């Protein structure tokens, strides 16, 4: 849902409506905090939920213990992702990079102490994750509230509670778009839990997904840069520059994808900035849940390919999604997107004197 912040802040920065970025950030905090609180019971009752899904008892119990430790991490996302989008939209990428680096170093150090020195096991690993993650959020708060964003942060304001419905709609479509993508992998992991040797199957599939996620982080970095550039240019009213940014990121992504594909053979994913999250959500449903998952189930359980079948099905869904998004990007009327961005910014614009402090 935080990608809504990226769209709104990026377009506001491009249009020169800098003070609106702090208001959009606060509105996103409100929407995301309420959403996280609605999700809270799922973390408390994870074990019975897993039993309801028919997972093996040892898997359900382990999931319940881990989910409790993930509650602080859930609320960490509320602030971390939105602030990162807010800072990146105004080209303050270095501070995000430095804070992330310090958080990573702290995470490794605490993990070594808690897991290997104190023998706290899973609890130690998850505790280290929570401490390191919230340390980066505290650093972001210090940076914003300490006066390093004077043009975009004017303090807390009651204006953040006004005109919430458009932000809610964009946040929901953004969340739906990305959740459908992330849930795709999660559902496949759950399906692995029904296999004969569930623990081994889940472990093998999770390791493969984590390795894929490491590679995906590189592409995600380019995605963030592209989204900021597209939203900035749409805010400025420059459709040609937005199209050029998309061409650059597509070319870079294809090249990186080929490189990592070759590496994988040897050794054994731009719609957010434009506000097209709803369209991409539909594409994700069709490609992932109508193609990828059914095909993976058939290959895993009917063709008896097990984890390999799930993985092949997942890849087929990803390929279908990639082809669909390339076609949509090619056919998009970017002049029309500029007009829509301008209408959105003008409709939600508040003059500094209009803010309810």
Per-residue pLDDT of 38-51, as tens digits, reads 999 999 999 999 89
- Listed by start position, the domains of the chain span 1-184, 195-343
Q: What CA–CA distances, in Å, run from 352 to 18, 138, 275, 344?
A: 10, 27, 25, 18
Asked if the model's pLDDT at residue 341 lies above 70, the reply is no
164: helix, strand or coil: coil
pTM, rounded to two decimals: 0.72
Q: What is the per-residue pLDDT for 28?
A: 92
Query: How many of the other CB atoms lie within 10 Å of CB of 105?
Result: 11
Between residues 197 and 59, the one the model is more confident about: 59
Between CA 110 and CA 175 the distance in angstroms is 31
> Among 155-164, 223-232, 266-275, where is mean pLDDT lowest?
266-275
Q: State the first-to-last Cα distance of the chain, in angstroms, to the nearest integer.
A: 26
Q: What is the per-residue pLDDT for 344?
A: 63
- Average pLDDT (186-205) is 75
Between residues 116 and 315, the one the model is more confident about: 116
Sign of torsion, CA 1 125 190 298?
A: positive
Q: What is the per-residue pLDDT for 190?
A: 79
Categorize the per-residue pLDDT at 180 as very low, low, confident or very high, splitting at 50, 70 and 90: confident
Label residue 20 left, alpha or beta by phi (over 0 means left) and psi (-120 to 50 means alpha). Answer: alpha
Q: What is the per-residue pLDDT for 267?
A: 45
130 within 8 A of 76, measured Cβ to Cβ: yes
238: helix, strand or coil: coil
234 within 8 A of 17, measured Cβ to Cβ: no
Asked if the model's pLDDT at residue 130 lies above 90, the reply is yes
CA-based max dimension of the chain: 66
Mean pLDDT rounded to a whole number for the chain: 81
Categorize the per-residue pLDDT at 26 as very low, low, confident or very high, splitting at 50, 70 and 90: very high
């Amino acid at each position: 849902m935080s990608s809504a912040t990226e769209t709104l802040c990026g377009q506001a920065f491009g249009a020169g409506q800098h003070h609106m970025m702090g208001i959009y950030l606060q509105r996103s905090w409100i929407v995301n905090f309420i959403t996280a609180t609605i999700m809270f019971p799922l973390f408390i009752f994870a074990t019975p939920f897993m039993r309801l899904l028919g997972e093996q008892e040892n898997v359900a119990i382990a999931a319940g213990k881990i989910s409790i430790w993930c509650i602080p991490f859930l609320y960490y996302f509320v602030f971390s992702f939105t602030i990162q989008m807010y800072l990146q939209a105004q080209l303050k990428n270095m501070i995000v990079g430095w804070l992330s680096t310090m958080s990573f170093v702290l995470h490794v150090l605490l993990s070594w102490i808690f897991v290997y020195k104190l023998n706290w096991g899973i609890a130690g690993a998850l505790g280290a994750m929570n401490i390191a993650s919230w340390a980066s959020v505290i650093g972001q708060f210090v940076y914003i509230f300490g006066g390093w964003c004077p043009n975009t942060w004017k303090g807390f304001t009651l204006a953040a509670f006004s005109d919430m419905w458009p932000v809610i709609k964009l946040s929901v479509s953004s969340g739906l778009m990305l959740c459908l993508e992330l849930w795709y992998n999660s559902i496949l992991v759950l399906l692995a839990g029904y296999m004969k040797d569930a623990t081994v199957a889940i472990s093998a599939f999770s390791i493969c997904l984590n390795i894929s996620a490491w590679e995906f982080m590189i592409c995600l970095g380019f995605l963030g840069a592209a989204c900021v550039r597209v939203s900035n240019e749409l805010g400025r009213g420059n459709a040609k520059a937005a199209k050029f940014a998309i061409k650059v990121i597509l070319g870079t992504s294809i090249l990186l994808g080929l490189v990592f594909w070759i590496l994988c053979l040897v050794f054994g994913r731009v719609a957010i900035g434009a506000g097209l999250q709803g369209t991409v959500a539909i594409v994700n449903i069709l490609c992932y849940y109508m193609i990828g998952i059914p095909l993976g189930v058939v290959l895993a359980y009917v063709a008896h390919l097990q984890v390999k079948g799930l993985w092949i099905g997942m890849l087929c869904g990803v390929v279908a999604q990639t082809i669909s998004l390339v076609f949509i990007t090619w056919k998009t009327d970017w002049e029309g997107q500029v007009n829509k961005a301008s209408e959105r910014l003008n409709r939600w614009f508040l003059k500094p004197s209009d803010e309810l402090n």
